[in-house]
Structure 1
Amino acid sequence: MDLLLDGLKKAIELIFSGDQEVFEITGLTLKVCLISILISTIIGLPLGMLLGLTRFKGRKILLIFINIGLGLPPVVAGLWITMLLWRSGPLGDFALLYSPAAIIMAQVLVSLPIVTSLTCTAFQQISEKMLLQIKALGATRMQTLFILIKQLKMAILAAIMAGFGRVIAEVGAAMMVGGNIQGDTRILTTTIVMEVSKGNFDIALALSFILLSVALLITAALTFLQQRKRIS
């Protein structure tokens, strides 16, 4: 209990003392996580809608791979991205390994299947009667899609929150492709692991409280948006 209290006190000290390194690490964590979930949302939502509303050759195989991705171990994602960005890899000439861009790529790889699968599941639940009613009213394809999105906005936001929860907690892949380089690729999760390995449990706990606070604030904002739209 004393260790937890010491960690909380340390977290407050780090925040209010204006520790530059902590702010940089927290800022980079927010940056890579928000960009990652934005990319996953931009790709995953349309793909999930397509898989949920249409039938085409190879659809079931694609769904199988997406569902396999739901349980993709982060270290496997990190290994694949590392091989892709290695000097002798397909994208080695871009020198992206051990950079924030590499962390974003790894986080997209682990969060995209979540957003896509949950979106697909939501759109698969749409009844045939609703689709027939919308068509009977003379709605165009774009109008139909807009109506469906409006009907399923809560499920869509839930998919985004689930994807964000995955990236904000990610450590294995980020450590592997980012290298946890001070001032460059060090984020909260990888810093916590490093401090624990050094035996600095007070600092690790302090950073964990900061990470939880960041996750709580963003999740609360998304939840508020979800429930606010429900009321409206």
Structure 2
Amino acid sequence: MMEATRAAFVLLFSGDPALWQIIWVSLKTSSVGLAIATPLALLGGYALARGNFRGRRILIWLAQAALSVPTVLIGLLLYMMLTRRGPLGELQWLFAQPGIIAGQALIALPVLVALTLAAVQAADPRLAETAVTLGASRLRVMLTLLHEVRFGVMAAVINGFGRVISEVGCAMMVGGNIAGATRTITTAIALETSKGEFAQGIALGIVLIAIALAINAALMLLQGDARHQGQLR
């Protein structure tokens, strides 16, 4: 194990092209998938928090229940949609990066919706009432509220990124774990471990831990800024 760990650090600091290609694919697909999901989730979370329409409670229940759906199940459903005989087969996204990006967006969506919903519901209701009294449009009211709960929204985005970059089931099923194309950090770790070659797996695990630490550090900083601003008020 010590030898494998030493070899892992050598891979990291030697600039191994295969290793950094895997890291790049993970960061790219996760970031793009999150960027696609975020605007939709903000609109959805805000609508569920502020709306008053038939079926709202059911939609909230479904959004929260989606947090417990295994990513491998999302991968299975997406695989059936993208396979050659599926309804979206003509897109040719299966075993390609667009397929992984679609999966990451679907995985991030319920996380972002649920946390945005919670953040907007926790906002002071007088803020929206004041904005409406001053003649603000619906769009302006929404932007004002989202700005007020921006720390909660940022926390949602950070948690969404952590969720998508660390998942393995969907990326494996939809991406196919193809070297140089769709192999991500988590799928590569699974592959290397199954082969009994631990150096690259450990190296990628170190990167994943570093990303997780950076994400949580950013979240702690945001929460600290929020508390600081609250005390100033």
- CA distance 1:7–1:156, shift in 2 (3 Å): farther
After the TM superposition, which of the residue ranges 220-229 and 112-121 deviates more from structure 2? Answer: 220-229
Query: 3-state SS of the aligned residue for 2:93?
Result: coil
After the TM superposition, which of the residue ranges 55-64 and 182-191 deviates more from structure 2? Answer: 55-64
Contact 1:153–1:226, Cα closer than 8 Å, also in 2: no
Q: Say yes or no: does 1:161 pair with 2:136.
A: no
1:1-232 equivalences under 5 Å are 3=1, 5-221=2-218, 224=221, 227=224
CA distance in 2, matches of 1:21, 1:40: 29
Displacement of 1:222 after TM fit?
Answer: 5.9
Q: Aligned letter for 2:196?
A: G
Q: CA RMSD in A?
A: 2.1
Q: Aligned letter for 2:182?
A: T
Task: State the identity as a percent.
Answer: 39
Contact 2:127–2:145, Cα closer than 8 Å, also in 1: no
Displacement of 1:185 after TM fit?
Answer: 0.7
Contact 2:155–2:222, Cα closer than 8 Å, also in 1: no
**What are structure 1's unaligned runs of at least 5 residues?**
none
Q: Aligned letter for 1:167?
A: V
CA distance in 1, matches of 2:215, 2:166: 13
Q: Aligned letter for 1:73?
A: P
Cα displacement string for residues 124-172 of structure 1 (whole angstroms, at most 9, x for unaligned residues)? 2234333323333443433322321221011101111111111011001
Displacement of 1:24 after TM fit?
Answer: 0.6
Q: Aligned letter for 1:48?
A: G
CA distance in 1, matches of 2:3, 2:42: 43
Query: 3-state SS of the aligned residue for 1:88?
Result: coil
With the length of structure 1 as denominator, give the TM-score of the two structures: 0.89
Query: 3-state SS of the aligned residue for 2:95?
Result: coil
Query: 3-state SS of the aligned residue for 1:44?
Result: helix
Q: Aligned letter for 1:161?
A: I
Query: 3-state SS of the aligned residue for 2:18?
Result: helix
After the TM superposition, which of the residue ranges 98-107 and 214-223 deviates more from structure 2? Answer: 214-223
CA distance in 2, matches of 1:97, 1:213: 30
Contact 2:162–2:215, Cα closer than 8 Å, also in 1: no
Query: 3-state SS of the aligned residue for 1:56?
Result: coil
With the length of structure 2 as denominator, give the TM-score of the two structures: 0.89
CA distance in 1, matches of 2:204, 2:3: 12
Q: How many residues align?
A: 229
Query: 3-state SS of the aligned residue for 1:126?
Result: coil
Displacement of 1:229 after TM fit?
Answer: 7.1
Contact 1:154–1:230, Cα closer than 8 Å, also in 2: no
Displacement of 1:218 after TM fit?
Answer: 4.8
Cα displacement string for residues 56-97 of structure 1 (whole angstroms, at most 9, x for unaligned residues)? 122222222211211111110000000000111001112111
Q: Aligned letter for 1:187?
A: T
CA distance in 1, matches of 2:23, 2:117: 33
